[in-house]
Structure 1
Amino acid sequence: MRDIDDVLRRQERIIDTIGWAVTYVLPTDDGTVTTAPFAYTVGLTAHDCPELITAGLPPEVAHSLLNDLARRVYDQAERFTHGQRLNDLIAGYDAIIIDGPPTDELLPGLAISRYGRDQVRLQQMVWPDQQGRFPWDHGYRFDPRTQPLIGRL
């Protein structure tokens, strides 16, 4: 396992180069509850933008989607709003942006340690099931623990 100082140095180099970094958090099992994997950006707070977060996706997919969104925020000055549908992110599906605070399940620890809890705002990219339903929709195919949410629509 890499030393945390190495991780932070690498993250700093990435942020200095492109403006943000993506951090992936693997699931843990404490014997009673298994948490979902999630990924989030670090670096957008320094530009007065919310950090982006998503949950329940494989690392490569989460990393790619968050990089696409962060590029739009950082390079194109695009701003997302609570409830905004994105039809150009996931081929054949809409995604939805929701605002909310960090939660026990979705805690962007490296962003909070870098900027302070009171400075970090979050926007979550929520993905649908194969029928286009979201976690708050009746009939959503997945267990709610698959994609924990920072807020509701």
Structure 2
Amino acid sequence: MTPECARRRLLRIIDRCGWALQYVESAVDERGIHPAFCYTVGLTEIDCPEVVVTGRVVDQSAAVLDELGARLWDGDSLRPGERISAGGLDLFLVEVRECESWLLGAVALYGQGQVSALQAVWADCEGRLPWEGTVGSAIVQPLLGPPPGGRVVC
């Protein structure tokens, strides 16, 4: 598929559904481990942040992002520092600091500096967020912005 065909397809999905999801597979290369992540594209059009989830499979990511996308589309607001639930997961919202590094599809569509985003950071099976446990989960769930207290874990 050419980049222009991919762009037109993305715009059709956004036009039909309000947003699209972009899933990026995990990879391992000479620079390290790169966990899978998924993000919305299209919420920028309604002056809302895009939302990203790292370290989950496609179905889990889609459940979280579609629920949060629907909330935003219906007029709810999401803010950094909120603890919420969506898609069956306990989440904490963190402001994404470098959208240009992570949300390539959204940035390509709307332009550099035009996209803001929140990361929906999920709690583990014991209810702990990455910065609350004794063993970091940064490999599976890297933080794309500062957790409470400002210490970035990556």
User: For the superposition of Structure 1 and Structure 2, which TM-score range results when normalised by the shorter chain?
Assistant: 0.7 to 0.9
Quote the Cα distance in structure 2 between the aligned partners of 1:3 and 1:77. Answer: 35
Structure 1 segments (4+ residues) deviating >6 Å: none
* 28 and 50 in structure 1: CA distance in 2 versus 1, 3 angstrom threshold: same
CA RMSD of aligned residues (A): 1.8
- The answer on whether the counterparts of 2:49 and 2:118 sit within 8 Å (CA) in structure 1 is yes
Tell me the CA shift for residue 94 of structure 1. Answer: 2.1
Which of the residues 93, 97, 101 maps onto 1:97?
93
- Where does residue 28 of structure 2 map in the other structure? 29
Q: Which amino acid in 2 is paired with 1:144? A: A
The sequence identity of aligned pairs, in percent, is: 32
Q: Tell me, which stretches of 5 or more residues in structure 1 are unaligned?
A: none
- Where does residue 9 of structure 1 map in the other structure? 8
Q: Which amino acid in 2 is paired with 1:44? A: L
Aligned pairs, how many? 147
- The answer on whether the counterparts of 1:38 and 1:55 sit within 8 Å (CA) in structure 2 is yes
TM-score, L = length of structure 2:
0.87
TM-score, L = length of structure 1:
0.87
Tell me the CA shift for residue 103 of structure 1. Answer: 6.1
Q: Which amino acid in 2 is paired with 1:139? A: T
Quote the Cα distance in structure 2 between the aligned partners of 1:139 and 1:3. Answer: 45
* 64 and 6 in structure 1: CA distance in 2 versus 1, 3 angstrom threshold: farther
Which of the residues 71, 76, 79 maps onto 1:78?
76
